[in-house]
Amino acid sequence: APARIAVTGLAVMGSNLARNLARHGFRVAVHNRTNARTKALISEHGHEGEFVPAETLDELVGSLQKPRQIIIMVKAGAPTDAVIDELAPLLEPGDMVIDGGNAHYADTRRREAALREAGLHFVGAGISGGEEGALNGPSIMPGGSKESYEHVGPVLEAISAKVNGEACCVHVGPDGAGHFVKMVHNGIEYADMQLIAEAFDLLHRAGGLTPAEVAEVFRGWNTGDLESYLVEITAEVLAHVDAETGSALVDVIADEAEQKGTGRWTVQEALELGVPVTGIAEAVFARSLSGRASQREAARAALGVNEVVASRDDSLVEDVRQALYASKVVAYAQGFDQMRAASTEYGWDLDLGSTATIWRGGCIIRARFLDRIKEAYDRNPELETLLADDYFRDAVRTAEDAWRRVAVKAVQSGVPAPGFVSALSYYDALRSERLPASLIQGLRDFFGAHTYRRTDREGSFHTLWSGDRSQIDA
């Protein structure tokens, strides 16, 4: 019998996805450039379901029912193009190519347009959850045409994570929408992790708690509003003791964070769209700063080491919890703002509430909190900012005093907390009756005759700064 779907690219992600498909009863054709991987998959996991191994793409295509559905799971970038170039001529109009790799959404838009010319459907599907997710249920963000989703959707939904019986897979929107949403997911993940790291640093260095004590704090937090995968594993990592030294492992790990680039993509795109995603940007920059080892060393030598004096203060734990929650709300509000802007820019008509649904399970940022976001967009799909929703408004207002105390504590004690502090500034800026942007406009008009608008009437104006300083209509 012909196979229902195919996977090409059988490294960790692809082989786990193929196994997931097979375990769900789909007859799955499998292929990899280097045949040894295909053989290994069949010999190790062939008993898990119905696999149809193929040595060539031609053979893979020949083994499929029509219209064909082929998932590409290879390294993002040039390898993906190479596979598409080889595959496309073998296909017939109506066939579907699904890219499950971490493609940049602009590449996905380009590929979708090219394949559409040939009558083929191209589905850029963001997949989150790492290898474990690929095997047991990832969060899936498919883009592409509505028509292709009618075919691919049921399969992808079947293998995705489920929360309360609902699939963490929803058709996101046309062309690159799926990969865009995946990119923002990763950006939010950066922000989330940065905030968690700042919370730890404050409790540890300013509050004098040991990593094991902070682990207990996080364990407690994981039973409330902050319940999430990242908070859960933070407790695990902080509690872990290094076997060699007997110290907390977190004290032994080199403090230079690495990055693969999806956080940077999110910020670059936010700059293009003009959307302030300060939480994600601070997180990317904090990682960059941590990685500049020789510069940090030179600064310590010249300026002296930043000695933080810890003081045990019973209220700090609860204050940090509230500051973490409020800052997290801001980071998500910014990420959703970015998706809203992209939706307008590219005509995607994104349903932001269903994005929250997709992220509730399977992915790294899965959290109880995402139900609240879904509910907020159910109440008002046109929400200008998540912070204006009743629930989130109350959440940040309730946290506000604690949030300010934590920002002060960070600044006074010398523990860097760019995530917490900039989130608070964002909150204050959004709510300001007047912003000093008026002065910036005045300065721009002074040195560059860039003109300004007035609060009291329509029009553009310029002050003759180097003349009699009268105002003229510009």
The contact mask relative to ligand NBP for 70-99 (x = CB under 6 A, - = no) is: ---xxxx--x--xx----------------
Residues with Cβ < 8 Å from 286, sequence gap 6 or more?
194, 197, 257, 416, 418, 419
Q: In the annotation, is 182 catalytic?
A: yes
Of 229, 233, 232, the closest CA to residue 361 belongs to: 229
CA distance linking residue 298 with residue 387, whole number of Å: 41
Strand segments, DSSP code E, in 300-457 are: none
Q: In the annotation, is 433 catalytic?
A: no
Q: Is 185 assigned to a binding site? A: yes
13 binding ligand NBP? (CB under 6 A): yes
* Lookup result for tokens 């890219």: 99
b/e sequence 284-314, b meaning 16+ C-beta within 10 Å: bebbeeeeeeeeeeeeeeeeeeeebeeeeee
32 binding ligand NBP? (CB under 6 A): yes
Of 362, 311, 21, the closest CA to residue 162 belongs to: 362
In the complex, the smallest distance separating the C-beta of residue 378 from ligand NBP, rounded to whole angstroms, is 28
b/e sequence 340-374, b meaning 16+ C-beta within 10 Å: bbbbeebebebbbbbbbbbbbbbbbbbbebbebbb
In the complex, the smallest distance separating the C-beta of residue 181 from ligand NBP, rounded to whole angstroms, is 13
CA distance linking residue 281 with residue 213, whole number of Å: 30
Name the residue with the smallest CB distance to ligand NBP.
Answer: 101
* Lookup result for tokens 């993509």: 265
Instruction: Name 167's bridge partners.
Output: 162
The contact mask relative to ligand NBP for 316-355 (x = CB under 6 A, - = no) is: ----------------------------------------
Coil vs helix vs strand at 199: helix
56 binding ligand NBP? (CB under 6 A): no
Q: In this chain, which stretch among 11-19, 143-151, 246-254, 456-464 interacts with ligand NBP, using CB under 6 A?
A: 11-19
Contact 23, 48 (CB under 8 A): yes
The contact mask relative to ligand NBP for 117-136 (x = CB under 6 A, - = no) is: ----------xxxx------
One of 12, 252, 298, 411 touching ligand NBP (CB under 6 A): 12
Q: Is 9 assigned to a binding site? A: yes
Tell me the number of residues near ligand NBP by CB under 6 A. 23
Q: Is 431 exposed, middle or buried (0-12, 13-18, 19+ CB in 10 A)?
A: exposed
Indicate the residue among 179 and 287 with the shorter CB distance to ligand NBP. 179
Q: Is 11 assigned to a binding site? A: yes
Active-site hit among 112, 157, 182, 198? 182
Indicate the residue among 239 and 363 with the shorter CB distance to ligand NBP. 363
Q: Is 13 assigned to a binding site? A: yes
Indicate the residue among 5 and 248 with the shorter CB distance to ligand NBP. 5
Annotated binding residues for NADP(+), written as ranges, equal 9-14, 32-34, 74-76, 102
Which residues of this chain interact with ligand NBP, rule CB under 6 A? 9-14, 32-34, 37, 73-76, 79, 82-83, 101-102, 127-130
Active-site residues: which are they? 182, 189
